[in-house]
Amino acid sequence: MSNDFYTTQILPYAAIIIKICRAYTDTQEDFEDYYQEVCLQIWRSKDNFKEQSAWSTWIYRLSLNVCLTFLKKKKNNKQNASTDILPDEVLVDSRAFPDESLNELYKAIKQLSEIDRGVILLYLEEKPYQEIADIMGTNTNNIGVRIKRIKERLKKILNQSH
Amino acid sequence: MEKTIETIWKEGFIKNDALVAPKLNDLYNQKSIDIVEKFKRMYKLNRIGIAAFALIIIPLSYATRMIYMGVPMCLLFVAVSFIAYKYSTQLNNIDKNKSSYEYLSTFDAWVKDMVSLNSRLSTFMYPYIFIAMALGFWHIDIEGNTLGNMFLNGFIAEFPTTYVIAGFPALLAIPFILIIAVLAFFGGKIGKWDINLVYGRIINRLDDLLSDMKELRQ
């Protein structure tokens, strides 16, 4: 299917979407929902892509936005469904990744704020500070300071878990 | 030595099965529903707009002393709005339980039918609008006399030898009939252009999606 949008425009960048969706979901079911939603949003918004950035950068930005919106909706639904305050439990699907250290890292990433998760994912993907700043809508100085702080926090969480 | 987060990240994703994209079984289904729902919203908004225009045109034409234009225009827009409403009920009856391809094909057939009907109606609609506007201007009351009569008197005074058909100078009747004929001839095309202006983008998306799905089925 040569002209299939999914195969040619999304699938080559699936790794980006998977990495981001995994950071914002706790179960395989949620992960698949988020992945699907991101793909759908890419398809819906493809005409808005103005080639001012790379397609992959645009996918990062869109995936982050979709995940953040989805998470917000989910939180609202939870709040509406129950007045009880839910414990801040961090779940990691055992089927998420075959590498145990990676699962531990994801578990730590999920303890960060939603924005910090986005920043660290982009950093780990070796995106330049300028690009991270563009995607997150801030400046490079802010990103530099933030990454330093996030890394320290992650290190602390990982040490505590060992 | 303890691994850094950068190393954990890199090494973790080296394993081939770390990044398996889930299957998107339902993507086309969602796309289909999305496209039809978007069209429905636009169609409904358009219909409401036409009905609202039909309502306001009477007081508006009364205020501008063009009631001879307002009444036929109101009747036209009520009729168009009613036809659009009848058509929209057909749209709501498309069975969502069909496969995405069948669902979209039925929708596509409905769109084509709607465009064709709109073209046929436009053949009459644009000449009708022209006549209604001419009537409106003709009957504008200016100090107890109509604009049309004032114009006619002036025209006959200027061309006293002009041939008159039922009190109307032939020199005026010819261009008038000519304009109506041109509008009737191009009405269908104008109608299509009008539809394309409003729904063109969504119709193109529908075509792309259908051809994509056709290919997938093969």
What is the structure's pLDDT at B25? 58
| Distance between A84 CA and the closest CA of chain B, angstroms | 33
- pLDDT of A24 above 60: yes
Residue A60 and residue A71: Cα distance in Å, rounded?
Answer: 16
Token representation of residue A134 = 């563009």
Domain that holds residue A89: 5-161
Q: Do A97 and B34 touch (CB under 8 A)?
A: no
B45 close to A (CB below 8 A)? no
Q: Which residues of B touch A6 (CB under 8 A)?
A: 24, 27
Residue A93 identity: D
Tokens of B156: 């006959």
Cα A131 to chain center, whole Å? 16
Q: Does B30 reach chain A within 8 Å, measured CB to CB?
A: yes
B198 touches chain A (CB under 8 A): no
User: What are the residues of chain A with a beta carbon less than 8 Å away from any beta carbon of chain B?
Assistant: 1, 3-6, 11, 14-15, 17-19, 31-32, 35-36, 39-40, 43-44, 97-99, 101-102, 104-105, 124, 151, 154-155, 158
Interval A80-104: pLDDT, tens: 554 433 334 444 555 567 778 888 8
Please tell me if residue B98 touches chain A, with a CB cutoff of 8 Å. no
Query: pTM (2 decimals)?
Result: 0.54
Q: How many domains does chain A have?
A: 1
Half-sphere exposure of B87 (CA within 13 A, CB side): 22
CATH number at residue A54: 1.20.140.160
Q: Which of residues B13 and A149 earns the better pLDDT score?
A: A149
Chain B residues whose beta carbon lies within 8 Å of the beta carbon of residue A158: 5
C-alpha to C-alpha distance for A124 and A25, rounded to whole angstroms:
18
* Alpha helices, DSSP H, located in chain B: 5-12, 27-63, 67-92, 100-138, 147-158, 170-217
Kindly report the nearest CA distance between residue B42 and chain A, in angstroms: 16
Please give the ipTM for the structure prediction.
0.79
User: Closest partner residue to A39 among B9, B15, B27, by Cβ?
Assistant: B27
The verdict on a CB contact (< 8 Å) between B17 and A17 is no
How close B8 comes to chain A (CA, Å)?
A: 6
CB contact under 8 A, B212 and A3: yes
Do A101 and B22 lie within an 8 Å CB cutoff? Answer: no
What pLDDT was estimated at residue B189?
A: 92
Successive 10-residue mean pLDDT values, chain B, 218 residues: 81 72 67 81 92 93 90 95 90 78 88 91 94 92 85 84 78 89 94 90 83 67
pLDDT 10s digits, A32-63? 888 888 888 887 788 888 877 888 888 988 99
- Per residue in A108-134, pLDDT (tens digit) is 999 999 889 999 999 998 889 998 888
Distance CA B78, CA B55 (A): 8
